[in-house]
Amino acid sequence: MATTGFWPVKGSLKSVVDYAENPDKTTDPRYMDEDLARTIKYAENDQKTDKKMYVSGIHCSKDHAYEDMLAVQKRFGLRGSNVAYHGFQSFAPDEITPDEAHRIGIETAKAMWGDRYQVLVTTHLNTKSVHNHIVVNAVSYVDGKKFQNHIRDHIQLREVSDRICIEHGLTTLENAPFYGGEKKSYWIHKSGQKTHRDILKDDIEECIKLAWTDGHFIELMEERGYIYDYTRHSVRAPSWERGVRLDRMGYSKENIMDRIMGYDHLQKRHSYVNYGSYQPKSYNDYPLLQLERQLDFTIDHSTSGVKVAISLVFYVIVELLKLVTGEVNREELRPQPISPELRLEAAKLDELTAQATLLGRNHIETLPQLEGLISEKTEAIRILENERQRCYNRLKTAESPESEAEIKEKAKDITERIKPMRSDLKTAKGALKRSKYLAGLLDTEHNMEISQLQRQQCRQRERDRGWER
């Protein structure tokens, strides 16, 4: 049997803008080929394909697939943002040999796209399940028309794959997903980061180990910032658009209870005392509330950004995430942010630190100030780029090798001055894009910690009354 799916590979925004401004102009390849090249490079990775034994091209050379696909795109012009489509065809473990998997991949690609598009088929051997990666040029070599990527194409790919698998004596998988719904998480995992489902799974596993009953499991999940739906057996964080069904992640109510009862209770008690729930008792046990007291700061923002002390927001975010990554008080177990979304930001700590540093260095407190910094950096880069272009123009009329060397050295010096400015501009734009979102995360975390504190204080009062009786 084989599961299938594919998704579009997006080109750079610059290529889309260039096309929108001048649809008759062939886009500069340096702005359009980065994602295509990266996709093909991944598909051809020698460590996964057994030294390119399992790489084949359809209407393109297996050794120069990128150049061949790019040539077609340049001939017809890149129209739209999708530069290619990246598909997969994965087989059950120990069901098929690499040779047969590759043949099935080629047959599937030919039947699906081979009459109009260039296709690269590679068979990866780096996991327990042998699987094919299929890279399809978005532009037809026949007439330059773009592949439209309709839902029926995903259904057709599953049907074609199933038919060819049956012809080769393989089984098929009923009701398997035909659409590459995990494409986003695939690239997130490839970059070494986690998705919100990964964070959720980590929390579920920890709560199962610590819980005494199914009710206690739900209580522990709520302590970690999730809202539990008893009817659907699903959870969601405050900012999620929809909940996640736990049974679809392999955590049915019966499975959770069986695993809870399967853990050694003495070990569970030891783990709960030492590594268990947040067990907060006062403001000092909540990381954000503690930082707010230390800084005399509370989250207060508006959509206009006038009230947002941006540099302080980024500083607080960075300090909170250091708790997650263990950079503060490594010897002592410290409570982490409750909000799953805020903990998910830990993967971006380096980026956020750079943004916080830039904002502090330039004394940026409001969104209008940040927008002004971006405009200032953009204009400064434009002036230097124009000056460098004048140097390049003077090279055409240089009177001697010495003069030419002097002009080149000046252009090189300008380039070195531009580099840090571009880095700052990129960092500033990233901060502008995420500032309101991060302020919202702090607002959510603040409310969750207050709610948790009040709940804990209520429980303590109930225990005290019980002791008095």
pLDDT at 434 over 90: no
Share of the chain above pLDDT 90, in %: 16
Q: What is the pLDDT of residue 325?
A: 64
Q: Which residues contact 74 (CB under 8 A, 6 or more apart)?
A: 26, 29
Average pLDDT over the chain, rounded to an integer: 76
Q: What is the pLDDT of residue 179?
A: 44
Question: Could you tell me the residue ranges of all domains in the chain?
Answer: 2-190, 193-277, 311-455
**3 state SS of 23:** coil
Q: What is the pLDDT of residue 44?
A: 54
pLDDT band for 335, please (50, 70, 90 cuts). Answer: low
The architecture CATH gives domain 2-190 = 2-Layer Sandwich (3.30)
Q: Other CB atoms closer than 10 Å to residue 57's CB: what's the count?
A: 20
Q: What is the pLDDT of residue 329?
A: 47
Q: Are 454 and 249 in contact (CB under 8 A)?
A: no
pLDDT digits (tens, 9 = 90+) for 248-266: 888 888 888 888 887 665 5
- 82: closest CA among 126, 42, 140, 133? 140
pLDDT band for 189, please (50, 70, 90 cuts). Answer: low
pTM equals 0.52
pLDDT at 240 over 70: yes
**3 state SS of 83:** strand
Counts of helices then strands in the chain (DSSP H, E)? 17, 8
Q: Which residues contact 256 (CB under 8 A, 6 or more apart)?
A: 208, 214, 217, 246
H or E element that contains 7? strand 2-10
Q: Other CB atoms closer than 10 Å to residue 449's CB: what's the count?
A: 25
pLDDT at 33 over 60: no
**Token pair 């084989």 is at which residue?**
2
pLDDT band for 382, please (50, 70, 90 cuts). Answer: very high
pLDDT at 31 over 90: no
Q: How many whole angstroms separate alpha carbon 161 and alpha carbon 89?
A: 8
pLDDT digits (tens, 9 = 90+) for 92-142: 877 888 889 999 999 999 999 999 999 999 888 767 778 888 889 889 999
- 432: closest CA among 385, 380, 384, 375? 375
Q: Are 227 and 237 in contact (CB under 8 A)?
A: yes
> If 0-12 CB within 10 Å is exposed, 13-18 middle and 19+ buried, where does residue 275 land?
exposed
Q: What is the pLDDT of residue 377?
A: 94
- 49: closest CA among 6, 102, 93? 102
Mean pLDDT along residues 397-426 = 91
Of 70-74, 231-235, 393-397, highest mean pLDDT: 231-235
- 2: closest CA among 161, 180, 175, 183? 161
pLDDT digits (tens, 9 = 90+) for 198-226: 888 888 988 888 888 888 899 888 878 88
pLDDT at 277 over 60: no
pLDDT at 147 over 60: yes
Q: How many whole angstroms separate alpha carbon 435 and alpha carbon 308?
A: 9
Q: How many whole angstroms separate alpha carbon 192 and alpha carbon 272?
A: 30
Q: What is the pLDDT of residue 78?
A: 62
pLDDT digits (tens, 9 = 90+) for 35-87: 555 555 555 555 544 444 678 899 998 888 888 888 888 888 765 678 888 88
Mean pLDDT along residues 395-407 = 88
Phi-psi region of 15 (alpha: psi -120 to 50; beta: other; left: phi over 0): alpha
pLDDT band for 429, please (50, 70, 90 cuts). Answer: very high
Of residues 171 and 108, more confidently modeled: 108
Q: How many whole angstroms separate alpha carbon 306 and alpha carbon 435?
A: 12
Q: What is the pLDDT of residue 93?
A: 76
